[in-house]
Amino acid sequence: MFNPYTFDYRQYIKEYHNIDINESPVKIPSRVLSRDYIDNTYAGLQVEKIAKFIREYSYLNEKLRLYKNIEDGVETYYLLTLDQPILALEHSFVNITSPIKAIENKDLWHFKQYKGLMSYWFDNDIIPTYPAIISDAAQTQMGFNFWKYLYKEYVSGKKSHVIYVIDYKMGDKININNIDEMEEYYANTQYNSRFVLERIK
């Protein structure tokens, strides 16, 4: 039976990823280490070593473990399965004050077996806690799809928030009125412009 606490990850990662982890295993990106079950458990072991356990976390009928790590101003939250170091979710962000006061997403990732977990995490933990969220500079198509989910859920659905585009350097704002307008500005969000989800006061 596979035991993540005794498995020889060093040899496995060197053989399959051509990465030597003798010196700095915690610096290997979790996305590299989370492409399959074995890689994922290694990433989970690193979380257990470097992050602080916060509490148990309930998702549907499953119990997970919530961890938090702060390094160089970046807050990162991890969700691991209860009995094994399987990394289910990773979310990192920084708190910014300019051009607006918000959290700026840095990394969003979930293991393929937990497809709905990211939405659940935002709906129950991030949206109620932070009044404004701004997209990062590396807006991928997957990231953009998540922003469209935020629009449908909180702007056109619950009508509790607004989404607009902001020039990261100048601070100019352009209101977004529908999904089509988000599509028009998507390309610009990979440069100076960013999407902002802000709670209606």
Alpha helix stretches (DSSP H) within 7-98: 9-17, 37-50
pLDDT band of 197, cuts 50, 70, 90: very high
Output 13 or 123, whichever has higher pLDDT.
123
The owner of tokens 């390309």 is 187
pLDDT value at residue 110: 87
Q: Give the pLDDT confidence of 20-53 residue by residue, as tens digits.
A: 766 554 555 555 555 567 777 888 888 999 999 9
pLDDT tens digits along 72-102:
999 999 999 998 888 999 999 999 998 889 9
Q: Could you give the C-alpha distances from 14 to 33, 57, 101, in angstroms and in order?
A: 12, 33, 43
- What are the distances in angstroms from CA 198 to CA 127, 172, 176, 177? 9, 15, 12, 14
Domain definitions of the chain by residue range: 132-201
Are 65 and 86 within 8 A, CB to CB? no
pLDDT value at 11 more than 80:
no
Query: Which pLDDT score, from 0 to 100, does residue 137 have?
Result: 75
